[in-house]
Amino acid sequence: MGGLCTATGCGGKGYPLNTGVTAAGGLPNINITGYFAATGSSGIGAGHNRPSATGPNPFFDFQDSVSYLWGKHSFKIGGEFAHIEVDAFTEDTLRGRIDFRGNRTPGLTDCAGPKGTRISCPLEDFFAGNPDRGFLLVGIPGRTMTWTSTAGFVQDDWRIKPRFMLNLGLRYSYTSPIHEANNLWGNFVPALGGMVQQGQPSVGNTIVKPDYGNWSPRVGFAWDVTGKGTTVVRAGASVIYSSYKAGMFTSQIGLPDITSTSLSSIPTGACKTVVAIGVPCPATFGGSIQYASTGIPASALNWSSVVFPAGAGVSCTATGPCSVLAVDPNLKTPYVVNYNLGVQHAFTNNLSLEVGYVGTHGDNLIGIRDSNQIDPTTGLRPYGAGGSACAANSAFCFPYLRYINQISNFARSNYNSMQATLTKRVSHGLNFTAGYTYGHGLDNGSLNTQYGYMAQNTNNTAAEYASGDFDIRHRFTFTTTYSLPGKKGFGQLLEGWKINSIVSLQSAQPWTVDDRQNDFSGSGDFADRWDFFGNPADFKSGTSSIPFCSGFGTTGGPTCTTQSGVSGIVTQLPSSLAQQCTAVAPDPSTLAKGGCYVDGNSVLAPPAPGTFGTMGRNIFRDSGFKNVDFSVFKDFKFKERFNAQFRFEVFNVFNHPLIANPFGSVNNYGGGSDPGSSPSTFGCGCATPDVAAGNPIVGSGSSRDIQLGLKLTF
């Protein structure tokens, strides 16, 4: 295509550029604005996330165990060794991407341009060979990751008395740090202020130090209280060490400042975006096309000491900082302590009740924090009196970098619950199971690693400790099947009938505030919570947004509205609601920029410039979940090996309104909980749970559905 430039010159057509990528053969992605959106296609040629490699991933596992009976003891000793290799990778725009967006071909005026002008159309530019911009990755995107896992255990089941058994065990496990086979792996070390490369003497063969302290004791007992087997008490406790996912070390997707065109391999200082015409970082090479390396900069392939993110193809400065993914060199293995105590009693041969206390405690859990967060006490007040758009990058600890998304062990969790289950096995055609859980889950980063939701203040992650995103205080479930008595004959019409039902009731789940539009604190992370005054119960989510007031400081005065997320109807509210905002807002400047939310006697207002919001994480709740399903089955038996079952199923029998949690209902996590960018959807479920989960066909939580089915078995 004409107009693209190579590393050796500009203006020519077809000059090769050696990208170093051997798996990038094939047609690039060609996007012509306005011609593919209706079909859902990303354009001509390869998709934006192609090519991708998924292996082969060799996995060798050796394990064995030996059992030995000695008196009242039953011993078991075993071990395991595994060698794992992962070669998978997916790279955005690896085959290149060319965009035709119009206004590139002189003399053609068939499309409308800005301010009444006439310009060339995207399709005309395509036929003329005049692209608007191009993207290209240079380097070696793939990584070959290997590690080993070794474990050994000893276990003793000791029947001290005929009615009492003690279980004792000890396990040791060691998983080696992940090693990149070709040393194409680097890390940013804050203590050194620069980046290091695996394989160099100062680093060693891995970027993370080994963790040898993974001992896992386990103890439990079972006590037959009466000796009849009708009442049994059981208890147990254990320490279980987790393992890492390889993708956690190789992907930045979902993290702050990372877009669909970002590097997905672990970076070593290269800029966050792939090559693009007109993008100032990295440096221009002989023309208007620019490129960034997904691997190590060519001029620094063997770092014998700490290096800074600069060199051929990479230019990271205070005005054009880059974002990197880093790992704590002293990363520990996460572990969870499980404990439980339960009583099981059989009332009859078919009816039993089990009540137990179940808990877990997680520590050294994996989280991602921005170790380059700006300290708000530096005095940067972009929204304060006389404030302006300032070069806030100068306040970073490392000004040539933007986000340093560091994997570390700051996360922790706790869960404690009472769990009860009543079970009736089949008798007289009836069976059912009823379960109830009363519990509380707390943590300081439920979706931190998966969706990149950073702590408000990464220097104080303990302040994030609150009810977890998945905290459900009360949950009741009931499932039953009743086989109606039948009578043979009449063409099987009076036999083979079953009635089934499932009841699910659960209390509200939390949702939090995460402002990704404004940076009132000046921390640079765009993860601020606001200041809340009042009762969190006033901000229960529903089918409409929380009432919003804006226009403070303008001549027209404040305007307060709410919007239905279902119908889209905007309702004007009395401007007197704004008085509640001005009465408690900490600063007029942030109030004028961000507005505020009012519901009942409660107010949510932006924090003062240079401060973090005072509200806690996950203090608001959604509307809960209540659902009843019902079905009727009719079985037909034609021959010994040929049967049929007709099903009549009704989901959400009572058509109870089911509204998704605001955090997961808009824009794939976050739109309904972002007060800065979506006033029309803030606090609104705006969808049923099945639609919000991206599973509207077979997911649970829709309005009433009636389904007919026929099942054949042969």
Are 94 and 21 a contacting pair, CB within 8 Å?
yes
Q: What tens digit of pLDDT does each residue of 168-186 get?
A: 999 999 999 988 888 877 7
More reliable by pLDDT, 48 or 211: 211
State the Cα–Cα distance between residues 49 and 352, nearest whole angstrom: 53
- For residue 665, what is the enclosing H or E element? helix 662-665
- Residue 13 burial by CB count (10 A; 0-12/13-18/19+): exposed, middle or buried? exposed
Q: What tens digit of pLDDT does each residue of 331-356 get?
A: 999 999 999 999 999 999 999 999 99
Report for 26-30, 521-525, 590-594: range of highest mean pLDDT? 590-594
pLDDT mean over 572-587: 93
User: CB atoms < 10 A from the CB of 351, how many?
Assistant: 14
pLDDT mean over 412-433: 96
- For residue 510, what is the enclosing H or E element? strand 510-511
Distances (CA, A) of 463 to 362, 372, 412, 589, 612: 17, 18, 12, 26, 11
Q: Assess whether pLDDT exceeds 60 at residue 648.
A: yes
- Residue 664 burial by CB count (10 A; 0-12/13-18/19+): exposed, middle or buried? buried
More reliable by pLDDT, 269 or 496: 496
More reliable by pLDDT, 1 or 705: 705
Across the chain, mean pLDDT equals 79
Q: What tens digit of pLDDT does each residue of 481-495 get?
A: 999 998 887 878 888
pLDDT of residue 26: 72
State the Cα–Cα distance between residues 121 and 469, nearest whole angstrom: 48
pLDDT band at 265 (very low <50, low <70, confident <90, very high): very low
Q: Assess whether pLDDT exceeds 60 at residue 650.
A: yes
Are 630 and 500 a contacting pair, CB within 8 Å?
yes
In 33-125, DSSP assigns E strands to 52-53, 59-70, 73-86, 89-90, 97-100, 111-112, 118-119
